[in-house]
Amino acid sequence: MAEMDTQDHILLTGGTGFFGKALLRHWAAQEQDGHSVPHVTLLSRDPDRFASQYPTLVAHPWLRMHRGDISDSRSLPVGSSFSHILHAAADSTLGPQLTPLQRYDQIVNGTRNLLDLAVVCGAQRFLLTSSGAVYGVQPPHLDQIPEDWNGIPDPLNPANAYGVAKRAAEHLCALYGQTHGLQTVIARCFAFVGPDLPLDVHFAIGNFIRDALWRDEITVSGDGSPLRSYLDQHDLAHWLMTLLVQGKGGQAYNVGSDEAISVGALAHLVRDLVAPNKRVCIRSAVNGNHGRNIYVPSIQKARNELGLDVSVSLAEAIRATADAAIRRASQPTI
């Protein structure tokens, strides 16, 4: 288990998103189990709103919130001292609402602002949550994509702004590591599931769980053939903390599950677990991908170097996500 001392101080960006909530729950569980928990400063554009929506998540003595935006260096906590920075801020949920240029600027400029802050505040370690999108299209001959695969998304296609920007942010980390001696580690994140996953955005597994709970049928957009894998948010938080503390500086690690499942089979699994009597509707009977569409990581590097593995099964994670959604729906709105 990757533990930190109570004297350590983490700056967490993206703390109000899916990754951040997973980490806050992870630290709260560690505290409850008697483990040491570091001081955490959570950067948020609207801390009051987050605190009103998730009062139990922020009610901890080791947590303080700071109003700021990664895109505005003047708003960052420059006067504070941090031992670690965990940079998980990027609008992956709201990203489709941004223009490609806005997405690129947010990721690249935001990362540079945080790296500059790391140098000024004397941080020893910096973890960037990057993405499997940096590899570009996963070739059909690779069932699992390893960290040393140097494919890239087409930089001339504006639709690839997210993956290209993440690749540029990774390069910035390497440059700051070389120039300032900052221990930078890259977490190339794939797909996830868990109680804090939004069910009404562009995540297929979330949409399937939503459909199973509240729609007449579970809808698959496409032919169901693409292959995906999903890591539970409890494992995600444990992996990120392990990388922050123990990952090798200047190295990238895939973060995700290597247990592939087709999107069609995933829809049927969600149906079987959540709503056994519902119909699964696959909209297209024709594979328009002209080959397999794969997004599955190799996690051998994380296994071999850091002892990380998948501990929560996909079925367990789906059940927990559905149960959490039911609990939220039953709570009275204020």
- Average confidence score pLDDT of the chain: 94
pLDDT digits (tens, 9 = 90+) for 111-132: 999 999 999 999 999 999 999 9
pLDDT at 1: 46
The number of distinct structural domains making up the chain is: 1
- 186: domain CATH number is 3.40.50.720
Conformation bin of residue 307: beta by default, left when phi > 0, alpha when psi is -120 to 50: left
Residue 225 lies in a domain: no
Tell me the two tokens of residue 27. Answer: 């630290």
User: How do residues 202-247 score in pLDDT, each as one tens digit?
Assistant: 899 999 999 999 999 999 999 999 999 999 999 999 999 999 999 9
Amino acid 292: pLDDT: 61
Contacts of 281 (CB under 8 A, 6+ apart): 217, 218, 219, 220
Percent of the chain predicted with pLDDT > 70: 94
Task: Please report whether residue 323 resides in a domain.
Answer: no
- Evaluate whether residue 83 is within a structural domain: yes
Is residue 123 situated within a structural domain? yes
DSSP label at 145? B
- Quick one: pLDDT at residue 93? 55
Contacts for 181 with CB less than 8 Å, ≥ 6 apart: none
| Domain-located, residue 214 | no
pLDDT value, residue 283: 87
In terms of residue numbers, what domain contains 78? 9-193+230-256+296-311
In a domain, 100, yes or no: yes
Average pLDDT, integer, range 46-54: 96
Look at residue 184 and tell me if it is in a domain.
yes
pLDDT above 70 (res 101): yes
Q: Does residue 333 register a pLDDT over 60?
A: no
DSSP-derived letter for residue 139 is: P
Whole-angstrom Cα distance, residue 295 to residue 139? 10
Q: Which residues contact 156 (CB under 8 A, 6 or more apart)?
A: none
Could you give the CA distance from residue 105 to residue 227 in angstroms, rounded to a whole number? 30
Token pair in block for residue 317? 């994670």
| DSSP H or E segment with residue 176 | helix 161-180
Rg over CA atoms, the chain: 20
Q: Give the pLDDT score at 202.
A: 86
252 lies in some domain: yes
- For the entire predicted model, the pTM comes to 0.95
> Is the predicted pLDDT of residue 284 greater than 70, yes or no?
yes
Give the per-residue pLDDT at 331.
Answer: 81
Distance between CA atoms of residues 173 and 179, nearest Å: 10
Crossing angle of helices 161-180 and 100-121, in 10° steps, is: 20
Mean pLDDT across 93-103: 79
Backbone angles phi, psi at 158, to 5 degrees: -55, -25
Please determine, for residue 5, whether its predicted confidence score (pLDDT) is greater than 80.
Answer: no
**For range 147-173, the mean pLDDT:** 96
